[in-house]
């Protein structure tokens, strides 16, 4: 029994909406680094049963890969409270993955939302008034 969830365009939105903390591994069967990262990701899923670990097969789900602008695989993304707080291509070693999860757990989501609102205000504020 895998600790990870296969994400598809049918269940993706529901998974991200229903869960406060979702890690997403964008991968493909033919990708060597993806295969190397898979056991590290699986172990992290087993070590963090309170979090949702999803996998998106970019070959089977090209719409999801395109929606997130995935250019390179594997890419790890972390979504907290429906906000992408981390996205990085490349297979992470176990220690780095553990560190990233720890940092994402510590994020103050109120502060993150405030920063996003400020960025959106700055981007939208310069166009006519």
Parallel, antiparallel, or unpaired: how do β-strands 83-89 and 52-57 relate?
unpaired
Supply the pTM of this predicted model: 0.90
| pLDDT tens digit sequence for 34-49 | 999 999 999 999 999 9
Please say if the pLDDT value at position 128 is more than 50: no
CA distance 76 to 66: 15
- Mean pLDDT in residue range 17-28: 96
Any idea which residues carry the catalytic annotation? 31, 34
CA distance 104 to 11: 23
């Amino acid at each position: 029994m895998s600790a990870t969830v296969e994400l598809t365009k049918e269940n993706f939105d529901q998974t991200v909406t229903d869960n406060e903390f979702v890690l997403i591994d964008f991968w493909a069967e033919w990708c060597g680094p993806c295969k190397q990262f898979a056991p590290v990701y699986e172990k992290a899923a087993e070590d963090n049963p309170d979090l949702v670990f999803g996998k998106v097969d970019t070959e089977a789900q090209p719409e999801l890969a395109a929606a997130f602008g995935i250019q390179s695989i594997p890419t790890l993304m972390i979504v907290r409270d429906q906000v992408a707080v981390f996205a990085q291509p490349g297979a992470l070693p176990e220690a780095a993955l553990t560190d990233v999860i720890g940092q994402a757990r510590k994020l103050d989501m109120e502060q993150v939302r405030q920063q996003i609102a400020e960025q959106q205000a700055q981007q939208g504020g310069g166009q006519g008034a």
